[in-house]
Amino acid sequence: MAERSAPVGVMDSGVGGLSVLAEIQRLLPNESLLYVADCGHVPYGEKSPDYIRQRCRRIAEFFQAQGAKAMVMACNTATVAAAADLRELYPDWPLVGMEPAVKPAAAATRSGVVGVLATTGTLQSAKFAALLDRFANDVQVVTQPCPGLVELIETGDLASPQLRQLLQGYVQPLLAAGCDTLILGCTHYPFLRPLLAEMVPADVAIIDTGAAVARQLQRLLAARGLLADGPARDAAFWSSAEPQSLKKILPVLWHESDSVQSFQL
């Protein structure tokens, strides 16, 4: 039986999951958080499901070795490829995954047209197709794969002309199709909200699932009597690429942290 003071492990293919980490820390400030950025293997969106499953297994094993009481897969592509596999391996371990916010977007749209910005892997998955079948019968969903966005966000430069031009090219067809609601189907994309606000009309709703993931983690921990009661602590970070690269980006996407270690699995 895990202790309430045990940490929660959070992983992503890179720095995108920091958007989810922030929501978790906001809702559950007393939790000790471990974050693995698999930057040496980013992006997951263009890789095979088998490859992603192998990476997620290694990260899960690491979190287990660290005594983590739960795991959050802060990556849509990783969730699609590996969540079922990990739940089979660790049936008693609370595991929270991501999924594009099709249900709230379908409820929010007024025009009946919803746009989805996501990685190729997420859009091609059976899980995404099932979400559309379940929640989007009464709306038109226009999908837009976004190759290249994750890699640019990984640099930490969120205002570069290259990023702006690429994002504009992905958003414009969705607006032209009449979308009044945009789903951010990758955890990297919430960091683009300031840029998106310049590109889309003010009445276009922009939806991601970070806060919902934090609430689900809270529910799972509470049901098991595992919610921490303090004190609040900063997160600890690992990267499978050069740790200094992550340390350089953290002040932009998170805040300063001295705790960035090498993840070599």
Cis peptide before 43 (omega within 30 of 0): yes
Distance CA 49, CA 228 (A): 34
Extract the tokens encoding 53. Answer: 């499953």
Residues in the chain: 265
In angstroms, rounded to a whole number, what is the distance separating the alpha carbons of residues 87 and 81?
Answer: 12
What amino acid positions are annotated as catalytic residues? 75, 186
**Among 158, 142, 161, residue whose Cα is nearest residue 150:** 158
Closest CA to 97 of 72, 122, 77: 72
